[in-house]
A and B are shown apart, each in its own frame.
Chain A
Amino acid sequence: MSYFSDIYKGIKTLLTGMSVTGKYFLTSRKGAITQQYPDNRATLKMFDRFRGEVIMPHDEENRHRCTGCQKCEIACPNGTIEIIWDRGIDEETGKKKKKIDKFVYHLSMCTMCGLCIDVCPTDAIEWGQNFENSVYDRTALTRVLNKPGSKLMPGVED
């Protein structure tokens, strides 16, 4: 007898479960969380804190805020950031002053921990929203963040 009652109970509980799935079958588009990703590129908006890649914003006159203090290079756990710097002459005081030559960022090694941005005293680097980083060659992921010919914004001191 228990054999038949088991079958009955099995079918009954299956139908209870299927009432849940049936409900979602009929109202499938309501509350759907899936995104049609490559098709919705035009409207896709990432959250403003999203960690995509490290970028260095420049203003209209091609000036950045990086003084070359290298705190981010020290804070980085895996050597993602390399700062190549030399000493330039400060135009105002005429003294020698440290300035960046190249701010090299190896995206292929970055774990997006955010310690470099957290530690930056002048807010020279920040998170970019781009996440489509697939390339054919790994070397394409090594980027120089400061634009060619860029200069330090006046008044930025660390």
Chain B
Amino acid sequence: MDTTTIETNFRSEEYFINMGPQHPATHGVLRLLLTIDGEIIKKVEPDLGYIHRSIEKMCERDTYQQIVHLTDRMDYLSSNINNEAVCLTVENALELEVPDRVKVIRTIIGELTRISSHCLWWGVMGMDVGALTTYFYGFRDRELINDIFEETCGARLTMNYNVPGGLMFDIHPNFVKRTKDFIAHFKTKLPEYDKLLTHNVIFQKRTKGIGILTKEDAISFGASGPVGRASGYSCDVRKHHPYSALDKVKFQEALKTEGDTYARYLVRIQEMWESLSIIEQLIDNIPEGEYRVATNAVIKLPKGEFYQRVETARGELGVYIISDGVKSPYRLKFRSPGFSNLSLLNHIAVGGKIGDLVATMATLDLVIPDIDR
């Protein structure tokens, strides 16, 4: 048989494959249409809309107090920060000054939320690349934060603890003690995370040099959060546009320049250390005072456009409200971090293997309800 016959008989051909909507590595109901040649990825097309709940449209129906609880259901892993974003927008529009106590508590709870989200991500990241042990260890430490939330807010995931004007109720008397216990506990566990996964050669071989995103691309795709920072793009909203009590604390922005999957991993691990230090700076001196400023029973925003951004565990969340002076917004738009981070998946996954795509997607840390509001 000469070579030409082999080429015609065994010619390679591009074909489509569906990844999801029920693939476990897509963390929810995200469907990826892969065009692949052998195992080399030629094109990745995310197909959205499986859990679209029209949250933005529902916001046009609801009052400003009611909008807050809908944001719990967007990025459910950083629900407290989402709540804070809406509350800050409404407070800014009303020119309402909230007490220092509220600001500090909001920051502490926000950073706890970030750690809990990163714990879950770390567990799932390990599971995606084939290390099931991390899943249990991540969830073990996250449980302690959930207990803090359950005691203070009454719920573990969808807290709805912030209201425009402050907090729904004061922190629980045990809050400070529990948080301090958690910090002491977690400081001994984070080095174990490094031992288990970060320093593992097999894990490093799986992640180093995979899914490289350059700084220019990160900016042009609108990447934010750990994804942008791993490419050297300094985009921490907490640093550049501090809100709540974040202007009073000192912390370092986690920055890496490699832009690969491993750099995104390291940025998140470092963020957990930074969050711990932010909480430590605030937890001992929570100012006394009111936990809530009285607002009107029916909040009416003045006519105009209002925007506020916060840093969730995944990146920059923007809340854009157009108000025409009645009790519900004319239009409310969420700029969710997951959506723009997903948009660069095609760019960084092309040319890699399917196994690499799973590792890359794990470090994008996608939460599908956030993308599919």
B355 contacts chain A at the CB level, 8 A cutoff? no
Q: How far is the CA of A10 from the CA of B66 in the complex (A)?
A: 53
- Cβ A51 vs Cβ B200 within 8 A: no
Query: Which of B151-159, B211-219, B231-239 is near enough to bind chain A?
Result: B151-159
Chain A positions within 8 Å of B155 at CB level: 50-51, 112
Helix, strand, loop or mixed for chain A's interface? helix
Q: What mask results when residues 154 to 182 of chain B are scored 1 for a CB within 8 Å of chain A, else 0?
A: 11001010010000110010000000000
Task: Give the shortest distance, in Å, between A16 (CB) and chain B (any CB).
Answer: 5
Partner of A17, one of B140, B150, B169, B200: B200
Helix, strand, loop or mixed for chain B's interface? helix
Query: Which of B189-197, B268-276, B311-319, B340-348 is near enough to bind chain A?
Result: B189-197
Chain A positions within 8 Å of B163 at CB level: 118
- Cβ B151 vs Cβ A49 within 8 A: yes
The number of inter-chain residue pairs (CB within 8 angstroms) is 74
Task: Give the shortest distance, in Å, between B335 (CB) and chain A (any CB).
Answer: 23
Q: How far is the CA of A21 from the CA of B202 in the complex (A)?
A: 17
B247 contacts chain A at the CB level, 8 A cutoff? no
B14 contacts chain A at the CB level, 8 A cutoff? no
Q: How far is the CA of A20 from the CA of B200 in the complex (A)?
A: 13
In A26-43, the 8 Å CB interface with B consists of: 33
Q: How far is the CA of A10 from the CA of B133 in the complex (A)?
A: 17
Q: How far is the CA of A112 from the CA of B65 in the complex (A)?
A: 14
- Cβ A16 vs Cβ B195 within 8 A: yes
- Cβ A16 vs Cβ B199 within 8 A: yes
A136 contacts chain B at the CB level, 8 A cutoff? no
Q: How large is the interface on A (under 10, 10 to 19, 20 to 34, 35 or more residues)?
A: 20 to 34
Residues on A lying within 8 angstroms of B by beta carbon are 6, 9-10, 12-14, 16-17, 19-21, 33, 47, 49-51, 71, 75, 77, 111-115, 118-119, 127
Chain B positions within 8 Å of A16 at CB level: 195, 199-200
Partner of A13, one of B70, B151, B158, B199: B199
Chain B positions within 8 Å of A114 at CB level: 154, 160, 168
Q: Which 4 A-B pairs have the closest CB atoms?
A: A113-B69, A77-B66, A49-B154, A51-B154
Chain B positions within 8 Å of A20 at CB level: 192, 195-196
Partner of A115, one of B69, B140, B153: B69
